Amino acid sequence: MSRPNHVDVNQSGHTKSEDSLFTLVENEECDFSKLLEKPPRLLLNIERQRSLDERSLVNELSIGMSPRLCARTTDLHISSSRVFEPLDMISSPVGRRSGFNTPRSQTGFEAHPMVAEAWEALRSSLVYFRGQPVGTIAALDNSEEKLNYDQVFLRDFVPSGLAFLMNGEPEIVKNFILKTLRLQSWEKKIDRFHLGEGVMPASFKVLHDPVRNNETLMADFGESAIGRVAPVDSGFWWIILLRAYTKSTGDISLAEMPECQKGMRLILSLCLSEGFDTFPTLLCADGCCMIDRRMGVYGYPIEIQALFFMALRCALLLLKHDDEGKEFIERIVKRLHALSYHIRSYFWLDLKNLNDIYRFKTEEYSHTAVNKFNVMPDSLPEWIFDFMPVRGGYFIGNVSPARMDFRWFCLGNCIAILSSLATPEQSTAIMDLIESRWEELVGEMPLKVCYPAIENHEWRIITGCDPKNTRWSYHNGGSWPVLLWLLVAACVKTGRPQIARRAIEIAESRLLKDNWPEYYDGKLGRYIGKQSRKCQTWSIAGYLVAKMMLEDPSHLGMVALEEDRQMKPLLRRSNSWTL
């Protein structure tokens, strides 16, 4: 396809002192119930600073350099027609490019040589539609059959979009948001069945007609996917990215467009509809998210529930307070309270809860039942007793009647931290677990998509003998470099920069040398995946986002939300099932 010249990646950014400041920004608490009131017209003068701010709960974390205050101010008009979140989580202003676009980082230290290579590779992956960049293809590996790796995946573009936002290039993200919104309105049909109007595409491709000299878009809503499963996570990622764009640029006009407002409402209509559910969580088919093959994540997977929670919170901040918007805001507030309580109570596992489950009685009937889901203690897997540390905990993979999936899933737990679905105590416990089980979850390449791998008879039953998801490979315990950005963001939010630095250093030792693989195989992530594509775009973008966020923690504001005090549980840190 035709493509304009690449933008010069060596533009100089705003200089910093060699004494760089690393700060952890903890948000002031927000009361969701107040969002139901119509806000007055406001003109806020927002101090954008990385220093200790008396209006925010800020912890300075030293990384070997003395902190220096650096204040930035800007004026932002807040429309009276919508709610805009408190901007106490500070984002870098658009137009200020990251130091990683230059040979020397803004900290004054030499940037890692991988950074320039990563930016060149990321820009090479750009896809253009009628002269404008609209996304990045999944991989630039020409040594393998393309399959659908030459398409723009909605979930895959998120780290790319964040990298461009952090680098002061929001137009690419804006184009992507508008083009995917246009695709949402298409008729979606698999065989003789019509999908919901709000379904977002899993991916799209630009088709060029050399005869007519024009370009068209072709979208996949699951009709071409393995297993023919619609992507439940695409709509959630779209809302999260829209909020990141708004947060990064301060531009609310995109989110306030009638088309974007309608797009959000259509997505919300799908997941807030009433049915036979007795739980506030979303019931999903296997293969409906990043793990897009049969892996036993059907039911109520933590990845979807965490993304659902975060998307609801982002939508709450982006929806207008008009008649249509207010109806959804009220439904969102109710769902958030129920969802947070359910997941914090029933998905959470630490040593005390594990011991409680181990001692469960079964066949209880009444409202006073302790074992509410009738989970059989004999179903506890052997590995969990050694895996669970004395200090630490995590949200397990799935909870449904008589079934608990005790596997660790990285994406769901990191999003739980960033969205504040996890309480501060639970967030700390998740990071404690990662530190305690570093070899198992990080090993020689961050980061395990899930742990542990399923094998032997269990693998045959759960995956249907899937040759791509053999033990410690691909989705079955494989190591995915793209998850690095989520880990680093969680580290910044919880004040654990040392974990982030350690993980980045491990990734830097191999990623470029191995030509940016999609995933790694083996118990420690030692081997390039047997079917792994090279030059995988989200591996590249995930690394760049991780580096930029560690250099400038104010970028965290794009992907993190403050805790809501109205959703604080009355439960102690070890949330007992005896409620």
For the cut 90, the answer to whether the pLDDT of residue 99 exceeds it is: no
CATH number assigned to the domain covering 113-558 = 1.50.10.10
Nearest-10 Cα torsion for 471, 477, 478, 479: -150
- Residue 203 or 46, more confident: 203
Q: According to the per-residue pLDDT averaged within each range, which of 18-27, 370-379, 551-560, 562-571 is highest?
A: 551-560
CA angle (233, 487, 417) in 5-degree steps: 65
Q: Check: CB of residue 481 under 8 Å from CB of residue 443.
A: no
Which tokens hold the place of 262?
């309608």
- Residue 141 or 9, more confident: 141
DSSP 8-state code for residue 344: H
For the cut 80, the answer to whether the pLDDT of residue 53 exceeds it is: no
Cα–Cα distance, 144 to 222 (Å, whole number): 23
Of 477, 497, 476, whose CA–CA distance to 487 is shortest?
497
- Residue 248 or 374, more confident: 248
- State the pairing for strand pair 126-129/152-153: unpaired
Cα–Cα distance, 148 to 151 (Å, whole number): 6
* Range 109-128 average pLDDT: 90
HEC string of 383-406 equals: HHHHHCCCCCEEEEEEEECCEEEE
- Residue 222 or 173, more confident: 173
The residues near 219 (Cβ < 8 Å, ≥ 6 apart) are 183, 186, 201, 203, 204, 205
DSSP 8-state code for residue 49: E
Q: Check: CB of residue 128 under 8 Å from CB of residue 175.
A: no
Nearest-10 Cα torsion for 236, 500, 152, 143: -150
Q: Check: CB of residue 325 under 8 Å from CB of residue 82.
A: yes
For the cut 80, the answer to whether the pLDDT of residue 73 exceeds it is: no
DSSP 410-459: HHHHHHHHHTT-S-HHHHHHHHHHHHHTHHHHTTTSS-BSEES---HHHH
Cα–Cα distance, 545 to 558 (Å, whole number): 11
Query: Model confidence at 148, in pLDDT bands (50, 70, 90)?
Result: confident
Query: Model confidence at 32, in pLDDT bands (50, 70, 90)?
Result: low
| Predicted model pTM | 0.82
Mean pLDDT, the chain, integer: 83
Query: Model confidence at 4, in pLDDT bands (50, 70, 90)?
Result: very low
For the cut 90, the answer to whether the pLDDT of residue 285 exceeds it is: yes
* Range 399-423 average pLDDT: 97
Q: Check: CB of residue 553 under 8 Å from CB of residue 170.
A: no
For the cut 50, the answer to whether the pLDDT of residue 321 exceeds it is: yes
* pLDDT of 513: 97
Q: Check: CB of residue 308 under 8 Å from CB of residue 415.
A: no
- Give the H or E element holding residue 209: strand 203-209
The residues near 257 (Cβ < 8 Å, ≥ 6 apart) are none
DSSP 56-123: SEEEE--SSS-----EEEEEEEE-TTB----TTS--PPTT---GGGSSB-TTSSBPPHHHHHHHHHHH
pLDDT tens track for 463-521: 999 999 999 999 999 999 999 999 999 999 999 999 999 999 999 999 999 999 999 99
For the cut 60, the answer to whether the pLDDT of residue 52 exceeds it is: no
For the cut 50, the answer to whether the pLDDT of residue 556 exceeds it is: yes
For the cut 90, the answer to whether the pLDDT of residue 523 exceeds it is: yes
128, β-bridge pairs: 133
DSSP 8-state code for residue 192: T
CB environment 376-391: b (16+ within 10 A), e (fewer): eeeebeeebeebbeee
pLDDT tens track for 333-362: 999 999 999 999 999 999 999 999 999 998
Cα–Cα distance, 533 to 139 (Å, whole number): 7
Cα–Cα distance, 162 to 342 (Å, whole number): 30
pLDDT tens track for 458-475: 999 999 999 999 999 999
- Of 141-145, 306-310, 501-505, the least confident: 141-145
For the cut 50, the answer to whether the pLDDT of residue 76 exceeds it is: no
- Residue 214 or 565, more confident: 214
**Beta-carbon neighbour count of residue 197 at 10 Å?**
15
Q: Check: CB of residue 89 under 8 Å from CB of residue 557.
A: yes
Cα–Cα distance, 20 to 109 (Å, whole number): 10
For the cut 60, the answer to whether the pLDDT of residue 303 exceeds it is: yes
pLDDT tens track for 441-453: 999 999 999 999 9
* pLDDT of 367: 82
Question: Coil, strand or helix: which one is 509?
Answer: coil
Helix axes of 170-184 and 154-166: crossing angle, nearest 10 degrees: 150
**Beta-carbon neighbour count of residue 514 at 10 Å?**
16
Of all residues in the chain, the percent with pLDDT exceeding 70 is: 79
* pLDDT of 501: 97
Q: Check: CB of residue 539 under 8 Å from CB of residue 518.
A: yes
* Range 170-175 average pLDDT: 98
The residues near 266 (Cβ < 8 Å, ≥ 6 apart) are 184, 196, 197, 198
Query: First-to-last CA distance in the chain?
Result: 59
* pLDDT of 147: 79
In sequence order, what E strands does 285-328 have? none
For the cut 80, the answer to whether the pLDDT of residue 98 exceeds it is: no
Cα–Cα distance, 149 to 203 (Å, whole number): 10
Cα–Cα distance list, 128 to 132, 140, 208 (Å): 5, 15, 11
* pLDDT of 454: 97
Cα–Cα distance, 391 to 374 (Å, whole number): 27
* pLDDT of 60: 33
CB environment 354-368: b (16+ within 10 A), e (fewer): bebbeebeeeeeeee
Place of tokens 């052997």: 382
Q: What is the number of helices (H) and of strands (E) in the chain? A: 17, 17
Which residue type occupies 127? Answer: V
* pLDDT of 567: 65
